[in-house]
Structure 1
Amino acid sequence: MSSPGTPSRADAIREFVGSAKFAQAVSLLVIGLAFSTHALRALIGWPGLLAALAGLLVLCAASLVARWRAVEWYGILPLTILVFVGWCAASVLWSTTPGASLVRVIYLVAFAVLGIYVALMRDTIQIVRAFGDVLRLLLGVSLALELLAGILIDSPIPFLGIQGDLATLGPIQGIFGSRNMLGFVALIGFITFVVEWRTHIVSRGRAIASLALALGAIVLSGSPTAWIALGAALIALAALYGLRRAPAASRWRWQLALLVTGAAALVTGWLLRIRIIELLDARAEFDVRLDLWREISRYLSLNPLQGWGWVGKWPDAPPYTWLEAGAGRPHESALNAYLDAYFQVGVIGAFAFAALIGVALVRAWLLASSRRSVVYVWPALVLVAIAVTSFAESFALLEGGWMLLVVCAVKAARDMSWRDALAAGRAAGDARG
């Protein structure tokens, strides 16, 4: 029996769950699980992964309840997230696989909740630090296992999908299941490590080692998609560097000039796409995608408005088996997030998804170009990487990529909300009145 003035066990637990250290630990677990789903499925199967996900959601809920009064709940979610997830949930009603769609929508919502938790519980610099710590570990483990498979034992590790091609300088997959996913994670790591370096979160030596790790993973992955997205991120970084040093009064002119230049670059890139593909030695990958996209276009006209129903990663059921048969090889996605959203949830879902990325990117870009702290550059560059990668992969709709998109969208909305702008304008009008 506790003496008067001594906190009870329940109070001690509540204090621990509501502490900043607990939120930090849970955030690290969230990021680690979201980007390790392939390895976890290989090690403990779907039941183990779902149990880990459920347990993590319980920890997030407990942390949120314990810190309820410290969280600013007003306007926590951008409307774009609500519209997209709501439309995906509604698609269960007309899905060709309603049971699978219901389960997959719950899975989508679960990772969205994890992203919302991270965005609510941690400020931007803490999020950068958490992503930096986790991605350093995952990339390090990936290269260590590739070293083991490719040089030390000279044999693949089949259950992880590691082919053991490090001795021939790749392509390698790490613990992520594919070279393109490794390239994407390494790219996000590279952006994170740059921001860590510039904000002095870590020492210079650790930052340089981390950047070398990320660049090494990108090179060894042999992913053309990662190289294109890296180029776009570096161009965006240079543009933000210039904008942040431009006088505030003339910054809008530079923003407009960048918009025009960006549009011109997109048109030029489209016109020169074949030459760019040849320079990146990506003709084989492009042909695979082109065959799949042609096959998808045959079925889009059957359900253009509402799509075939949300499923996320493609199940072994029609119409996805038809697409694989027509393309001549198995696929887990449309290899294009925008087209995947179009096929699964129709025109409305595709527009909602594009609006989610677009609105978040505009908000994050304006914040990055106007706020003094360098840390605001991170969401903008990550969203640039997501937007570009989504033209060749569906990572932004699945697990870690989707969680990352939600984190960036929520942070951008909370730091630059149109609701707050309207409230401020209304208050100013009342004051003048």
Structure 2
Amino acid sequence: MTPRRQLVSLLASAEFARAYALTALTAAFTSFLIERLMSRVTLATIIAILAMIGIGMLLARREELSLLRLAPTSLLGFIALALASVLWSSDRSDTLVGWLTLLGYAIIAITIGHVRDTLQTVRAIGDTLRWLLVISLALEIMSGVLLDTPFSALGISGDLATGGPIQGIFGTRNMLGFIAVVGLITFVIEWRTQSITRLVGILSVTLGGFLALLSASPTVLVLAVAVGVATVALTIVRHTAPAHRATVQWVLGALVAAVLAIAIALRHQIIRLLDAGSDFSTRADLWNLILDFVAQKPVTGYGWFGPWARGEYPFTYINFLLDDHHQSALNAYFDILLQLGWIGLALFLIMGAVAMVRSWLVASVRRSVVYAWTPLMLITLAVDSMFESFTLIGIGWVLLVLCLLRAGQSRSWRENMDAAHTGAVPTLGPENTDG
């Protein structure tokens, strides 16, 4: 066998796919740690290498992949718009760097989505998070209890002995809270699909819940409530007779709309209940100012930068006016509105909504509980995007692209086109559920 054939065989192997998924997910989850201990250039180099390896893996498997189903059209449109924003950006080089970062993480997620199925992806995320959460807890114990000194290089304040908040290796309490909720969803799915033993499942869920609690993040409670309600709703739909399932779906949709309307009307009381008044006040001031700048470029925005670039307009000016040092809009939707305008926000909402509907319908009719991971993760990302911009960078963007890809692999026009060549009629109705 020639060296070239050996390389292709290695890139196409299942063992390499598993190793790649674990390595890439670890790099994405620890992006803050890598940048803090090394440099932003080091992180960019790691992501670039992983993206190039991912492209090589997809090329090695090209005979088993369909170009039409490589990535959702809405995702490609969003990435294309981010690239096009180079044309009207105030700093084309920074915008290009921001776009390459967006593209690099997207390629990694697309690669994982094609070389690993849903259960394998869930298990890879679960295995990665178990280790990272254990490391976070161990470092917090060392910093806050044993040594009683902050680990500034790791961004750990050492407040565990006083009950938190703690940050772990993820930089901020809100990021730790978000990661912990992602872990809880993943651990429960692993447990329910018997991918891990009962003891490992109990320990994993306990670890995730403990760190979520110690993060003292005001968003964790909101995420927990949203995911809990969604889980109950999905359980009801899954146990409803097929003949009545559509009616139940519409009723639940109406209830969600009503709850959202009530939540908006009672937002001030909810904020006081969560004891997040000052935190929300900071966000409200920021968002109001962002809307003033959006009014100047409402359609296209100021160009895609991702995390706010230092010295760039309007980010620096916004921080100057607020006498603060925000690195994002603390809201993914406002960040997109500021950087890509209403066009970008519309694309983002469309791709999220389409993926949510598709994944929810698939999870409603499939017997295996693993299909619930995608809609529950999309709900987590959508809700967290109201308070942070995690969904647009690093692991948040990787998880979003993974969910978009999973949802796009079923109930899409691509299936119909593929079916036209095979003569098969794809359907996910009650008569075609799998075990």
Q: Residue 29 in 1 paired to residue 14 in 2?
A: no
Asked whether the equivalents of residues 356 and 409 of structure 1 are also in contact (C-alpha less than 8 Å), the reply is: yes
Q: Quote how far apart the aligned CAs of 1:417 are.
A: 1.3
What is the letter of the counterpart of residue 383 of structure 2? Answer: V
Q: Quote how far apart the aligned CAs of 1:421 are.
A: 4.0
Alpha-carbon distance between aligned partners in 1 of 2:170 and 2:418, rounded to the nearest angstrom: 44
Q: Quote how far apart the aligned CAs of 1:425 are.
A: 8.6
What count of residue pairs does the alignment treat as equivalent? 423
Q: Using a 3 Å threshold, how does the CA distance of structure 1 residues 8 and 102 change in structure 2: closer, same or farther?
A: closer
5+ residue gaps, structure 1, are: 1-6
What are the equivalent positions in structure 2 for 1:170-189 lying under 5 Å apart?
A: 170-189=164-183
Aligned to 1:50: 44
What is the letter of the counterpart of residue 311 of structure 1? Answer: F
Alpha-carbon distance between aligned partners in 2 of 1:71 and 1:276, rounded to the nearest angstrom: 48
What are the equivalent positions in structure 2 for 1:75-90 lying under 5 Å apart?
A: 75-90=69-84
Q: Residue 392 in 1 paired to residue 367 in 2?
A: no
What are the equivalent positions in structure 2 for 1:29-428 lying under 5 Å apart?
A: 29-316=23-310, 317-421=312-416
Q: Using a 3 Å threshold, how does the CA distance of structure 1 residues 86 and 58 change in structure 2: closer, same or farther?
A: closer
Alpha-carbon distance between aligned partners in 2 of 1:421 and 1:198, rounded to the nearest angstrom: 32
Q: Quote how far apart the aligned CAs of 1:17 are.
A: 2.5
What is the letter of the counterpart of residue 121 of structure 2? Answer: I
Asked whether the equivalents of residues 218 and 227 of structure 1 are also in contact (C-alpha less than 8 Å), the reply is: no
What is the letter of the counterpart of residue 73 of structure 1? Answer: L
Aligned to 1:4: none
TM-score, normalised by the number of residues in structure 1: 0.95
- Report % sequence identity: 41
The 3-state SS of whatever aligns with 2:409 is: helix
Q: Which runs of 4+ in 1 moved over 6 A?
A: 425-429
Q: Quote how far apart the aligned CAs of 1:196 are.
A: 0.4
Alpha-carbon distance between aligned partners in 1 of 2:414 and 2:50, rounded to the nearest angstrom: 31
Alpha-carbon distance between aligned partners in 2 of 1:137 and 1:255, rounded to the nearest angstrom: 38
Asked whether the equivalents of residues 236 and 381 of structure 1 are also in contact (C-alpha less than 8 Å), the reply is: yes
Asked whether the equivalents of residues 68 and 414 of structure 2 are also in contact (C-alpha less than 8 Å), the reply is: no
The 3-state SS of whatever aligns with 1:74 is: helix
What is the letter of the counterpart of residue 353 of structure 1? Answer: F
Q: Quote how far apart the aligned CAs of 1:329 are.
A: 1.2
Asked whether the equivalents of residues 172 and 179 of structure 1 are also in contact (C-alpha less than 8 Å), the reply is: yes
The 3-state SS of whatever aligns with 2:39 is: helix
* RMSD between superposed Cα atoms in Å: 1.6
Deviates more, 1:340-349 or 1:93-102: 93-102
Q: Quote how far apart the aligned CAs of 1:9 are.
A: 4.6
What is the letter of the counterpart of residue 407 of structure 1? Answer: L
Q: Quote how far apart the aligned CAs of 1:291 are.
A: 1.2
Per-residue CA deviations over 1:298-345 (Å, capped at 9, x if unaligned) read: 211100011011000001122101111122211111011011100000
Q: Quote how far apart the aligned CAs of 1:106 are.
A: 0.8
Q: Quote how far apart the aligned CAs of 1:15 are.
A: 2.4
The 3-state SS of whatever aligns with 1:406 is: helix
Aligned to 1:3: none
The 3-state SS of whatever aligns with 2:123 is: helix
The 3-state SS of whatever aligns with 1:306 is: coil
Q: Quote how far apart the aligned CAs of 1:276 are.
A: 1.2
Q: Quote how far apart the aligned CAs of 1:29 are.
A: 1.0
The 3-state SS of whatever aligns with 1:308 is: coil
Alpha-carbon distance between aligned partners in 2 of 1:347 and 1:71, rounded to the nearest angstrom: 34
The 3-state SS of whatever aligns with 1:415 is: coil
Asked whether the equivalents of residues 177 and 212 of structure 2 are also in contact (C-alpha less than 8 Å), the reply is: yes
What is the letter of the counterpart of residue 418 of structure 1? Answer: W
Alpha-carbon distance between aligned partners in 2 of 1:71 and 1:424, rounded to the nearest angstrom: 14
The 3-state SS of whatever aligns with 1:278 is: helix
Deviates more, 1:8-17 or 1:364-373: 8-17
Q: Quote how far apart the aligned CAs of 1:8 are.
A: 4.5
Alpha-carbon distance between aligned partners in 1 of 2:74 and 2:424, rounded to the nearest angstrom: 27
What is the letter of the counterpart of residue 130 of structure 1? Answer: A
Asked whether the equivalents of residues 306 and 347 of structure 1 are also in contact (C-alpha less than 8 Å), the reply is: yes
What is the letter of the counterpart of residue 214 of structure 1? Answer: G
The 3-state SS of whatever aligns with 1:225 is: helix
Q: Quote how far apart the aligned CAs of 1:279 are.
A: 1.3
